[in-house]
């Protein structure tokens, strides 16, 4: 079958033109732009990966350089705080518990029978010696005193009359006017009248004392306690009713105990000094109340406790010490001069042994020491010299021959240093038998 040559000739001229235009300018493929964007994204990711690899390799190289530098320099030092051993004086104390005891305490009772008329004192009042306290009805005693005075006057006149007769008898006997017996009888009669007068004088004085007992005054200066009797009450001389209690507050004493093992130390201190100083602290042993002086020691040791009592006197100017108050006492028995001192917190314990870390050329060296007396967080030690620098913190990290870096600022949360100080203080107190910091060497 042959194609019709005239078939194509039947096409219109404009159709032929359009066909040629289609062949010359075909329609663009819609997937071509998406392929181009994908290629750009892939190249960007590849470039980013290359950059990250370069950065990683550079960082690894820098870390390797730093590690090599640290390896050449050695391990870093431990940061610590330090303290320098000093040469100075330190006090030796004996610590004990004590009780505040007034020098004088007066419990006043009635010495006569009668009704209370007046109470002059106020509760808690500070009174002076001789101040009026209580008045008891004095009328019966005034009447008795008046009768005794009358009897005295009568007998004094009887005595005077007998004395005149005796004088006349002596003159008559000198002239041989009377017998010697009459003169002797008159002399004995005068002596009898003198005895009667003395008896009357005693009655007058006794009644005067009874009358004085009706007006009760303070026998000492001090503080009056609570009121124990009111006006209108009848008191008896034979009863045990206390009308008032007065305690002296200035000065006041504290009675405390000294261990018998420390008795020789105290006696030696008393021979060196006229008065040993005694400090009184409150129940917590943190606040000092007053400072006084040791008066004396008791004359015997209590065999049940192995202690001897001592009494110290305090001026108590501010009335800070109160009768029967519990206090902690600290007796100064000696002062050690020119000893080596370091902070108690710098001393560490290894069983029964004590040691410190001495810093030399930024290296810590373990050094055994023998601690002695402790006062105000400073401890006397043997085994190091004044001027030596010792570690005072970071003990949980320190070892012998460890490199250190000394810092002026104490590290926060240094629990090891604090615990060391506390354990040291407790050990010293137990070793000394209530002695501050242990026994002196």
- Per-residue pLDDT tens digits for 357-405: 999 888 889 999 999 888 888 999 999 999 999 998 888 888 888 888 8
CA angle 252, 279, 322 (to 5 degrees): 35
Q: Is residue 294 part of a domain?
A: yes
Q: Mean per-residue pLDDT for 250-258? A: 94
The Cα–Cα gap between 364 and 245 comes to: 66
Cβ(112)–Cβ(134) below 8 Å = no
Overall number of domains in the chain: 3
Residues 364 and 273 grouped into a single domain:
yes
Residues 110 and 233 grouped into a single domain:
yes
Q: Which residues contact 421 (CB under 8 A, 6 or more apart)?
A: 343, 344, 345, 377
Q: In whole angstroms, how far apart are CA 378 and each of 83, 390, 430?
A: 11, 13, 17
Q: Is residue 199 part of a domain?
A: yes
341 by Cβ neighbours in 10 Å (0-12 / 13-18 / 19+) ranks as buried
Confidence label for 155 from pLDDT (cuts 50, 70 and 90): very high
The Cα–Cα gap between 344 and 10 comes to: 125
Q: Where is average pLDDT lowest: 84-98, 112-126, 403-417?
A: 403-417
CA angle 332, 336, 342 (to 5 degrees): 105
pLDDT of residue 30: 53
Confidence label for 63 from pLDDT (cuts 50, 70 and 90): confident
Residues 277 and 374 grouped into a single domain:
yes
Confidence label for 72 from pLDDT (cuts 50, 70 and 90): low
Query: What is the CATH number for 242?
Result: 2.40.50.100
pLDDT of residue 117: 95
Residues 283 and 363 grouped into a single domain:
yes
Identify the residue whose tokens are 């209530």.
434
Q: Which residues contact 346 (CB under 8 A, 6 or more apart)?
A: 83, 356, 357, 390, 391, 392, 420
Q: In whole angstroms, how far apart are CA 228 and each of 76, 349, 382?
A: 78, 59, 62
Domain span at residue 191 reads 138-213
pLDDT of residue 66: 77
The Cα–Cα gap between 378 and 392 comes to: 12
Residues 274 and 363 grouped into a single domain:
yes
Half-sphere exposure at residue 108, Cβ-oriented, CA atoms within 13 angstroms: 24
Q: Is residue 384 part of a domain?
A: yes
**N- to C-terminal Cα separation, the chain:** 142
| pTM greater than 0.95 | no
The Cα–Cα gap between 306 and 96 comes to: 13
Q: In whole angstroms, how far apart are CA 142 and each of 48, 69, 203, 231?
A: 126, 112, 13, 20
Residues 393 and 441 grouped into a single domain:
yes
Q: Is residue 347 part of a domain?
A: yes
């Amino acid at each position: 079958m042959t194609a019709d040559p005239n078939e194509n000739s039947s096409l219109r001229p404009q159709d032929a033109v359009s066909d040629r235009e289609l062949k010359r300018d075909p329609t663009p493929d819609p997937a071509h732009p998406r392929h181009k964007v994908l290629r750009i994204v892939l190249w960007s990711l590849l470039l980013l990966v290359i950059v990250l690899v370069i950065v990683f390799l550079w960082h690894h190289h820098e870390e390797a350089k730093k590690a090599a530098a640290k390896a050449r320099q050695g391990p870093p030092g431990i940061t610590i705080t330090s303290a320098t051993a000093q040469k100075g004086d330190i006090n030796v104390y004996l610590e004990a518990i004590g009780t505040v005891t007034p020098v004088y305490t007066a419990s006043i009772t009635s010495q006569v029978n009668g009704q209370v008329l007046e109470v002059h004192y106020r509760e808690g009042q500070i009174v002076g010696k001789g101040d009026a306290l209580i008045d008891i009805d004095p009328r019966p005693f005034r009447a008795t005193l008046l009768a005794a005075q009358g009897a005295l006057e009568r007998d004094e006149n009887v005595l005077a009359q007998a004395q005149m007769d005796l004088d006349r008898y002596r003159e008559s006997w000198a002239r041989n006017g009377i017998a010697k017996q009459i003169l002797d009888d008159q002399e004995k009669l005068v002596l009898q009248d003198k005895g009667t007068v003395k008896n009357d004088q005693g009655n007058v004085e006794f009644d005067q004392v009874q009358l004085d007992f009706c007006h009760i005054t303070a026998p000492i200066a001090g503080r009056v306690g609570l009121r124990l009797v009111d006006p209108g009450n009848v008191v008896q001389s034979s009863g045990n009713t206390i009308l008032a209690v007065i305690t002296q507050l200035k000065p006041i004493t504290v009675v405390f105990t000294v261990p018998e093992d420390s008795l020789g130390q105290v006696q030696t201190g008393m021979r060196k000094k006229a008065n040993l100083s005694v400090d009184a602290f409150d129940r917590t042993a943190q606040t000092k109340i007053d400072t006084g002086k040791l008066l004396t020691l008791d004359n015997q040791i209590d065999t049940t406790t192995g202690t001897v009592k001592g009494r110290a006197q305090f001026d108590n100017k501010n009335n800070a010490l109160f009768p029967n108050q519990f206090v902690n006492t600290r007796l100064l028995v000696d002062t050690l001069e020119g000893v080596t001192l370091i902070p108690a917190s710098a001393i560490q314990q290894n069983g029964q042994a004590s040691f410190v870390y001495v810093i030399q050329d930024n290296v810590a060296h373990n050094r055994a020491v023998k601690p002695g007396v402790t006062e105000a967080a400073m401890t006397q030690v043997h085994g190091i010299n004044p001027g030596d620098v010792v570690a005072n913190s970071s003990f949980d990290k320190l070892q012998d021959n460890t490199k250190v870096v000394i810092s002026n600022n104490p590290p926060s949360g240094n629990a090891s240093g604090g615990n060391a100080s506390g354990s040291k203080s407790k050990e010293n107190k137990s070793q000394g038998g209530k002695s501050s910091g242990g026994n002196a060497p």
